[in-house]
Amino acid sequence: MSKEICRQKIEDLLSLADIQIGGTRSWDISVHYEEFYSRVMTKGSLALGQSYMEGWWDCPKLDEFFYRVLTANLDDKIKPFKCYLAALKSKILNPQKKSRAFKIGDFHYNLGNDLYEMMLDKRMIYSCGYWDNASSLDEAQEAKLHLICQKLYLKPGMKVLDIGCGWGGTAHFIAEHYQAEVVGVTVSEQQAVLAKKTCKGLPVDIRLEDYRDIKDTFDRIVSIGMFEHVGPKNYATFMRTVRNCLKDDGIFVLHTIGRNKTVNSTDPWVERYIFPDGMLPSPKQICSSIEDLFVLEDWHNFGPDYDKTLMHWFYNFQKNWPSLKQKYGDIFYRMWKYYLLSFAGAFRARHNQLWQIVFSPKGLEGGFKIVRYTQPLP
């Protein structure tokens, strides 16, 4: 396919999203290399991200660009053959099997605590904030943690499991504000080291451990931003593990990004550069995985709040970039910018969702009282 034909096809596609090449609006793009068009036509979204990292094209506001691209469903218009092979491979194999459990920790979460300290809130919560009545990132993350704790009906002295505990911010918050004992598990060594330091002096036990190895019994279980790494072939195993570890009168809160339809592969650029083996669950997949295990008590969607959270993360990242530049380099800057702003655009377009789902083993007596509070209960 000639360069001229490739360019025309890309221009025609972008016009469906009201995006111009060489335009003056904040979502229009500037292309610096003519090879960009044939590269994207051949390799799709992988090439789009790679070419941005290499400086082949620019856009004043990537979040607005991706909002329009995804609202117009342009991601479905170019599907290289490799994408179908990746989907078939994911359907046959189990990329998230136990032997690969620590891969994501090494690849993404061990990048460097300095990066996340400068990007996230003061508690280093790497998941969507709850922006109802919040005016800052710190307030939004605190509101989210209170919201989860209230959905868990936490009481002093309870034993809580935090699956995917990150840098210990949630475990610290639960122990400090709700006087509960917490076991936190992570597959990131750097997270575990900092979490132990963060939670020192509190009834918190941080473990470098895969969720499939947990054997204890708990009053309450929470998992925040970890289910995205479990994978479809392991959803039932994850839910059985949670059920085996949860008391009959317990409560489990799952906080996860989700997608509107079931797929068998993830975006190839995200897979290669950000979250290897990551997979967003669909409602169908989650509901199938809990059959004969849990009663679904509540399903709360506040996906648009992730757009705002990601924009705050990008603001912090960009503001602190001069302190990070020497260690990470210019290509990383463009990669991380592309990651944060493309995700913000995806949530703005309602292409991705953010769910908090409440489960109980046998159904809560009298039913679950819907909780949407953002402040501690009196």
CA angle 210, 354, 368 (to 5 degrees): 85
63 shares its domain with 110: no
pLDDT of residue 94: 60
Q: Is residue 252 part of a domain?
A: yes
48 shares its domain with 102: no
Q: Domain limits at 271?
A: 96-360
pLDDT of residue 115: 97
Q: Within a 13 Å sphere around the CA of 97, how many CA atoms are in the beta-carbon half? A: 6
Alpha helix locations (H) across 153-247? 169-178, 189-198, 235-245
Residue 50 to residue 179: CA distance in whole angstroms: 47
Decide which of 50, 79, 108 is a domain's last residue.
Answer: 79
74 shares its domain with 108: no
Return the residue matching tokens 């360019």: 7
67 shares its domain with 118: no
pLDDT of residue 378: 43
Residue 276 to residue 255: CA distance in whole angstroms: 20
275 shares its domain with 311: yes
Contacts of residue 12, defined as CB under 8 A and 6 or more positions apart, other chains included, come to: none
Token pair listed for 348: 């703005």
- List the end-to-end C-alpha distance of the chain, in Å, as a whole number: 67
pLDDT of residue 272: 94
User: Are 204 and 165 within 8 A, CB to CB?
Assistant: no
Nearest to 372 by CA among 131, 151, 173: 151
Question: How many angstroms from the chain centroid is the CA of residue 180?
Answer: 26
Nearest to 148 by CA among 333, 163, 94, 342: 163
Q: Residue 157 region, left (φ>0) first, then alpha (ψ -120 to 50), else beta?
A: left
Residue 337 to residue 303: CA distance in whole angstroms: 20
145 shares its domain with 245: yes
pLDDT of residue 371: 86
Q: Is residue 369 part of a domain?
A: no
Contacts of residue 47, defined as CB under 8 A and 6 or more positions apart, other chains included, come to: 39, 40
Q: Is residue 87 part of a domain?
A: no
Nearest to 29 by CA among 55, 2, 1: 55
- pLDDT tens sequence for the chain (378 residues): 788 899 999 999 999 999 999 999 999 999 999 999 999 999 999 999 999 999 999 999 999 999 999 999 998 777 654 554 454 455 555 655 565 666 766 778 889 999 999 999 999 999 999 999 899 999 999 999 999 999 999 999 999 999 999 999 999 999 999 999 999 999 999 999 999 999 999 999 999 999 999 999 999 999 999 999 999 999 999 999 999 999 999 999 999 999 999 987 789 999 999 999 889 999 999 999 999 999 999 999 999 999 999 999 999 999 999 999 999 999 999 999 999 999 999 999 999 999 999 999 999 999 999 888 655 544
183 shares its domain with 148: yes
Q: Is residue 24 part of a domain?
A: yes
Q: Number of folded domains in the chain?
A: 2
The residues that bridge with 255 in the sheet, in sequence order, are 224, 356
60 shares its domain with 152: no
pLDDT of residue 235: 96
Residue 171 to residue 116: CA distance in whole angstroms: 17
221 shares its domain with 147: yes
pLDDT of residue 3: 82
Residue 375 to residue 271: CA distance in whole angstroms: 37
Per DSSP bridges, beta strands 218-224 and 57-58 are unpaired
Token pair listed for 293: 């295990």
